Amino acid sequence: MAVGLVPIPNIPVSNAHEWREFFFNIDQSLKGGINVTIVTAKLTGGGVNGSMTFVNGILTAQTQAT
């Protein structure tokens, strides 16, 4: 299950219960781990991008950037 980005709420600190709920929701979504592929930047002008794939929060594949 891919987890989308959760925007940071624009809530004053005085509304602590809303912040608590925000962090609780993030915690719950991370418990199952994250399935995602990220792209890493080229290291040289003529190089190629790399990538890293995570399944349940564990790195399962990597392509080195050049």
Q: With bands split at pLDDT 50, 70 and 90, how would you rate the model's confidence at 15?
A: low
Task: Give residue 17's identity as a one-letter amino acid code.
Answer: H
| Whether this model's pTM surpasses 0.85 | no
Residue 2 pLDDT greater than 80, yes or no: no
Q: What is the mean pLDDT of residues 19-26?
A: 77
Measured CA to CA, the distance from residue 44 to residue 65 in angstroms comes to 9
65 and 40 in a common domain: yes
What token pair was written down for 17?
């219960």
46 and 25 in a common domain: no
61 and 38 in a common domain: yes
57 and 39 in a common domain: yes
Measured CA to CA, the distance from residue 47 to residue 66 in angstroms comes to 5
Q: With bands split at pLDDT 50, 70 and 90, how would you rate the model's confidence at 47?
A: very high
Domain of residue 54: give its range.
Answer: 33-66
Measured CA to CA in angstroms, residue 56 lies from 37, 39, 53, 62 at distances of 12, 18, 10, 15
Q: How many domains would you assign to the chain? A: 2
66 and 37 in a common domain: yes
10 and 37 in a common domain: no
28 and 40 in a common domain: no
Laid out side by side, the sheet with 36-40 consists of: 36-40, 50-55, 58-63
Q: With bands split at pLDDT 50, 70 and 90, how would you rate the model's confidence at 6?
A: low
